[in-house]
Structure 1
Amino acid sequence: MSLITSNSARLLRHQLILSDGELARFGKLIYRRAGIVVNAHKREMIFNRLSRRVHELALNNFSEYAQILESHPEHPEWQTFINALTTNLTSFFREAHHFPVLAQHAHQRRNGYRVWCTAASTGEEPCSIAMTLNETLGASLSGPRIWASDIDTDVLARAEAGVYRLSDLDTLSLMQKRHYFLRGSGENSEMVKVKRELLASINYLQLNLLDANWASVPESVDAIFCRNVMIYFDAPTQERLLQRFARMLKPGGLLFVGHSEHFNYPNIPLRLRGQSVYEVLESRA
């Protein structure tokens, strides 16, 4: 982008105003499509992320952008809108206390162990799960055992590519770095790529947790990772998702959530087993 074009873009964003009415419209749109709750505290974030799109489409204001989304529920701009307003903060072995719990659980079950990672983002979490299962159960010989989904198609493309900065691996052991990653050479010497064998154990797919049908993931799994996701949902949406997760989990299956997520819905057969880990109590309905 030339300096002139860049300056023009900044000037346009400076001239734009996100009114209360427009903020409310975007809030309704993202809630209806993705279940994400936004309010006035997210005004600056929404302005910064959507003003770039308003400029790219040569629109005059945010209302014109909202009209594009409202024009048709299957308009291709919807995916760009969702990608812009989803948050993707992740790292390898984030909330590290979960992975020994996962390893012990998998060791007790072993055969056919399957995990659903509901917010794959750029792939660090499903890769961490895959490394844990490989070290516990050995390499998968029968295809994927981790289903890793996300609503954001941009981050899924990066996850499937499996390319990261060398500095992203700082939390990994030397053995893990050598065993699961290939280091680039020359100008790419500070980049790494996940080895094909590890990626083969992960099935990446685009999925909206609000979809009525989750046919692209297994009907039953041993563990579900849904960490730092439900903080963006309201209580009714959380309860619906937890009910569905409980039905998917095999008896004794585990649900891993984020460190700040705590749930107490008496009609859902999940009990707190450890730090942000829930266990399903009874057979699936």
Structure 2
Amino acid sequence: MRVHIAAPTITDTTTLTSVLTELETDYTTGDWGDLPEQSVDMDAAVVVLPAADTPDIENLLVEAGIAVGQGIPVLIVTERDVPDALLRSTQVVRLEAAALRAEALKFHLSLFLQRIGKGVRTDEEAARLPLLTSTDLRNFHERLEEVRAQGRNRWQSYEDLVHSIFTSAGADIVAPRDRTDRGFDFAVALPRLTQNFGPLVVEVKTSSSPRILRESARKLAGIVMREHLGLGLLLFDQTERSTSVSVPTVPMVITMSFDELLSKLEREPLERALIRARNEAVHRL
């Protein structure tokens, strides 16, 4: 896979190129217009847009538009607003271009490249994603009960179950190597969700203690803001309590039980379910 990097001349892209090398991805740099004979061989483009109004900005936007016009997937790393025409056709990451941090870039790029490897879906294709089958849902319900029966030290089994559910629902998932330090278990990309809100970070909890869930939701919200991400999803198991667990709404975080997630997936695709849950959470604030 080969990626073209378009960035202002004053921007240090050393971290970006190092991450691409670590991900075993070839890259080129320079003006897109200087590479007409090579552009057809590009698999993707990464465009860096800093907050400052540098003379390069207009050219970078043109380069991004050229890439989109050629059907090449584009990831925009930006501190500024992106024109609507590009916003609808690219994946946008809100990240400080002046300080591109390796770990943050790594999972954003991993998700982006993973999506390209599967083939980029249009909005129309994403909207037609099928529901999980009744067999899938039955298997997931059965696995959930099996995990519950394991007793203590079942956190890995919960995470494996969530990974399977999201993958079956069409999500691309990356687990950070430093998950303890980062404070979440998975970074998730879904076509329309990523385009509208950015990547989703997921934290899985075996506890249903309202106090622990409240603290976890607040920590996850802090991570979303610090990492310039889209949304946080906090998943937990409801069965430890006979009454419904109520967790105060925290901005930028969706909180739901495993049973609630599976119930939603019986009615609609994962992307639509998460967008609806996000909108409902906003209205409760």
Same fold (TM over 0.5): no
TM-score category of the 2 structures, normalised to the smaller one: under 0.3
TM value normalised by structure 1: 0.27
Higher relative contact order (CA 8 A, sep 6+): 1
TM value normalised by structure 2: 0.27
> Greater CA radius of gyration, 1 or 2?
1
